[in-house]
Structure 1
């Protein structure tokens, strides 16, 4: 079975090289660059990858473009700030050799700086696994700017349990808060475009329910103060998105 590794990135020349090295086990590497102005294209080509450059307003559109350009029967989708561990590489190869299913969840290890944070990831701010290994034609991203939904064709197989995607999700706390700001801005644009931004009461309620899920349901308390920070960001994402759409709509319309 031919395996394509798909990397979607924008101005990631600092982190792209290590990502591509970890994907050397794939039969094909495709790098999709969205409005990129740094040296990522040259880095991709030097590593033997195919490079697709363009400009896409929607995250779903650029990811779908990458999926369509892959030539493998199976696709492993990763981001430039992720690395495939050797154990996961072996597990992926073994899975596609025998799997009758359309897609599989892939485990993630999330790092903030040098710290591995295993607990507390919930909702749209982080996850401990992703549906990243799939047959071509099985996965379709929806047309949204941030965390687009997915449409599937076929049946889900068992989760891969060996190895992990090593995700360098944030460099530090400041980087985490910048990500919260960036995500909520993109989400505010999606809310305005959809014509339904929700209500203040509903989003305040979501703040507390999502923070509780992160800290208690996903055991973020096991991470100490880091768990408190993660719960805050998880809860704040929909509330901040709503407030931007309601209070500053002129800044977030197309």
Structure 2
């Protein structure tokens, strides 16, 4: 028997993407109840736009503005005030999809600004079981665009709500970086974005703190956040996080000492489709 299609709800599924053809179809299909599926594409060259259209999405082009500004621009393009944001490598679990369909009508009639969702991360081909940032991580992803706004930063953006935000029970799924190669490329881009934010704010260079930052970041993730209970995968994720904490500070120091490196690095990253 062919299952009946899900009734549509007046909400926009919103995704910002570039070169996500391999993953984005799964993401779009996981939200069958959204009346609109909207993808803001910043210049894909791998056929992402066509994949999105095949899965029922409307595609709008916008040159890359940085994560926060890109998401705020995207909110203005939606046809509905209520918005669900996912990344291309994320998807609703069937349980969360059913919960949203059940609770969303009441949420829309309330004065709530949005809702908090929990994220379950898969790492190296399996779900993490203990590492706290990857098990039930609380994230603002469902919101009324008149009562919430993304922070205007280039990376590590977050939603700022103007009103109550209940929490949904079931998680959505994050297939985190299919390989460590993908992770390292993303780390280079995120570090570049963070360093440019620091430049805008005139943050002091404090290279003397770098060794302490590495130790503190590794201990926080490996011990305090329980990564050690996930075995060697926990070690890898802790080491990667600590290395990122150090690298972005070294890169910021280089930007200050050798300003020409900013354009050189941006050109190199652009060649990999990773515009800072």
Query: TM-score normalized by structure 1?
Result: 0.89
**For the Cα contact (< 8 Å) 1:30–1:70, is it kept in 2?**
yes
RMSD of equivalent CA atoms: 2.2
- Mapping for residues 109-188 of structure 1, pairs under 5 Å: 109-120=120-131, 122=133, 128-157=137-166, 159-162=167-170, 164-188=171-195
Query: TM-score normalized by structure 2?
Result: 0.82
Unaligned runs of 5+ in 2: 1-8, 267-276
Instruction: Say how many residue pairs are matched.
Output: 250
Unaligned runs of 5+ in 1: none
Distance 1:203 1:71 in 2: 46
Cα offset, 1:185, TM superposition: 2.1
Cα offset, 1:68, TM superposition: 1.4
| Bigger-Rg structure (1/2) | 2
- Mapping for residues 5-24 of structure 1, pairs under 5 Å: 5-24=13-32
Cα offset, 1:12, TM superposition: 0.7
2:269 paired residue number: none
- Mapping for residues 64-79 of structure 1, pairs under 5 Å: 64-79=72-87
**For the Cα contact (< 8 Å) 1:120–1:230, is it kept in 2?**
no
Distance 2:225 2:135 in 1: 11
Q: Deviations over 1:90-131 (max 9, x none)?
A: 111222222332122211121124221233354xx9982311
Q: List 4+ stretches of structure 1 deviating above 6 A.
A: none
Matched, 1:49 2:60: no
Distance 2:248 2:219 in 1: 19
Cα offset, 1:154, TM superposition: 1.4
Q: Secondary structure at the match of 1:128?
A: strand
**For the Cα contact (< 8 Å) 1:192–1:252, is it kept in 2?**
no
Identify the structure with bigger relative contact order (alpha carbons < 8 Å, sequence gap 6+): 1
